[in-house]
Structure 1
Amino acid sequence: MALLVASVFEVGYALSVNGSEGFTNPTWSIVAIGFFLLTLLFLSIALKRIDVGIGYAVWAGLGAVGAALLGPVFFDETMTPAKGFWLAVIVAGVVWLKLADRPKRDTPTAPSVL
C-alpha cells in the first residue's frame, strides 16, 4: 500500500515539476518539493518490505505512466497511439515484476511412509 501511495505522490511530483517551469514558479516549486518529500517517505516505508529493485521499478513505472496519462489533462501534451502502446508495455512489466516478487506457496508434500 505504501508503494502505491508513493507512486501517486511521484505522479504529483512529476506534474508539479512541470508546472514549476524549471522552478521559476514559486507556488508550483513548493508543491513539487512537498510531493518529492512525500514520495521519498512512502517509498522508504515500502522498501522495508520490498526488494529495492522491484520497489523502485514499480514506483518509477507507475509514476511514469501516471504522469504520461495526466500530462495531457493538465498541460499542453499529447497522447499518441505509440505512446499508449509503450505505456501499456511499462504497465505489463510492472505487473510481471510484482508477480515475480510474490512469495511462492508451499506445496503440501505427501507424508512419507516408512
Structure 2
Amino acid sequence: MTRAWLALLLAGAFEIGYALSVGGSQGFTVLSWSLVAVVFFLLTLFALSLALRTIDVGIGYAVWAGIGAVGAALLGPLFFSETLTPVKAFWLAVIIAGVVWLKLSDRTAPD
C-alpha cells in the first residue's frame, strides 16, 4: 500500500470522526463537540489533499466518502442510539465492496 492510499485511509478515519462529532454537536450548539468537529474537518481535508496528489480525484473522493459513510453508519449506533437494520448493513457492504474494487482498479497507477 502506498503512502497516498495510507493518507486516504487516514482521511477517511478523520472523516468518520468529523461526522460523529457533528452529530454530537447537535447542530453546532454544543461547544466541545463543535470544536472537535472543526479539528477533524481540518485533519480530513489535509490528509485528503495529500492523498489526491497521487490518486485520481474521482477515485480518491469516492473512497474517502465511502469510508466516512460506512464508518459513521457503523459507529452511529454506539454513540447515538441509531439503528443498523439488515437492509442498511447490506447497502453498507455494497459500499465496502465498491471501495475495495476502486482500490484494486488503481493498482497500476504510479506512486
TM-score in same-fold range (> 0.5): yes
> Is 1:6–2:11 an aligned residue pair?
yes
Q: 1:98: which partner in 2?
A: 103
Q: Which runs of 5+ in 2 are unaligned?
A: 1-5
Moved more, 93-102 or 2-11: 93-102
How far did residue 100 of structure 1 move? Answer: 1.2
What TM-score results when the alignment is normalised by the length of structure 1?
A: 0.89
Q: How many residues are matched?
A: 104
| Cα distance in 2, alignment partners of residues 62 and 39 from structure 1 | 12
Q: Is 1:29 aligned with 2:26?
A: no
Q: Equivalences for 1:72-111 in 2 at 5 Å? A: 72-103=77-108
Instruction: Flag as ranges the 4+ runs of structure 1 deviating above 2 A.
Output: none
Which structure has more relative contact order (CA 8 Å, sep 6+)? It is 2
Identity of aligned residues (%): 73
**What's the secondary structure of 1:11's corresponding residue?**
helix
Give me the whole-angstrom Cα distance separating, in 1, the residues matched to 2:91 and 2:77. 16
* Residue identity opposite 2:81 in structure 1: D
What is the rounded CA distance, in whole Å, between the counterparts of 1:25 and 1:8 in structure 2?
22
Between structures 1 and 2, the one with greater helix share: 2
